[in-house]
Amino acid sequence: MGDVELVERAEHLGRKRSQLFFVLAMVFFAGQSLYFGAPDATRDSVPRVGAWLILVCLMLLLLATGGFLLSGRKVRHLLNDESARANRVAAQAVGFWATILSLIAVYVESIFDPVTLNEAVHIVGTIGVGAALISFAVRERRAHRLG
Amino acid sequence: MAERLANRLRAEREFRGWTQAELAARVGVSRKTINTIENGVFVPSTLTALKIAESFERTVEQLFSVIEE
């Protein structure tokens, strides 16, 4: 594959990646309604908590690597070049602030209404990871659309 | 006073008849990176700026300049 073909392949995959990250974040947020909609007795069952933990780890891995499943070292290098890395760093900063703000919100809420540890972890984890994923997806989509 | 990095990438690229993908392939970055640099959205690293200049056989100063707004 020639260099220009590699660039075009990376371009195609980059667009797909930003769409996929956006959809994943939406699915991740939507999945939380299942958790909070479940009766208290079954809410923190091992399979439910385990599935959420696996999903969080997968999202974090995607955020940290920019798509570890993508094949081809050269294409992966182009996909994760300096503009993508800059977008990832900015998205991680958004995730950090979303985490801290949701932490403060949960803390204030707990003064008026008891919040269990599991609920707090779910809320803070979901908002932090979800916000970072959406931020990365939006930045990448915007960058692809320019010009 | 705000400062902005202006560049002549599009003019130089179009003068040579290169597409963004062709320039990206010469520099070793994605088309998106070239696109965002051309549009002034992304400020490239020194390494990338030098590689771009090398591709055009120009100096970095001939391609990039600081504008005060």
Whether the CB-CB separation of A115 and A21 falls below 8 Å is answered with: no
In this predicted structure, the answer to whether residue A7 has a pLDDT above a threshold of 70 is yes
Q: Name the residue facing A11 among B30, B41, B42 (closest C-beta).
A: B30
The complex scores an ipTM of 0.86
B58 touches chain A (CB under 8 A): no
B38/A140 touch (CB, cutoff 8 Å), yes or no: no
Q: Which stretches within chain A are classed as H helix?
A: 3-37, 40-43, 46-65, 73-79, 82-112, 117-145
Hey, CA dihedral for A76, A79, A85, A88, is it positive or negative?
Answer: negative
Residues 7 to 46 of B: which have CB under 8 A from any A CB? Answer: 20-22, 24-26, 28-33, 35-39, 41-42, 44-45
Torsion of CA A5, A70, B42, A21, to 10 degrees: 130
B5 touches chain A (CB under 8 A): no
- Residue to mutate among A4, A77, A83, with most B CBs inside 10 A, is A83
Cβ-proximal residues to B31 (8 Å cutoff; 6+ apart), any chain: A7, A8, A10, A11, B20, B21, B24
- Tokens 């959205």 locate to B41
B30/A2 touch (CB, cutoff 8 Å), yes or no: no
Whether the CB-CB separation of B38 and B9 falls below 8 Å is answered with: yes
A71-110 pLDDT, tens digit per residue, is: 688 888 899 999 999 999 999 999 999 999 999 999 999 9
Going from the C-alpha of A147 to that of each of A24, A56, B41, the distances in angstroms are 27, 35, 11
Share of chain A above pLDDT 90, in %: 46
pTM of the model: 0.87
Whether the CB-CB separation of B36 and A143 falls below 8 Å is answered with: yes
A83/B45 touch (CB, cutoff 8 Å), yes or no: no
In this predicted structure, the answer to whether residue A113 has a pLDDT above a threshold of 80 is yes
Whether the CB-CB separation of A132 and A95 falls below 8 Å is answered with: yes
The mean of the pLDDT values for chain B is 94
Q: Tell me the three state secondary structure of residue B67.
A: strand
* CA dist., res. A116 & res. B16, Å (int): 64
A39-63 pLDDT, tens digit per residue, is: 776 777 888 888 888 989 988 988 8
Give how far A88 is from chain B: nearest CA, Å.
13
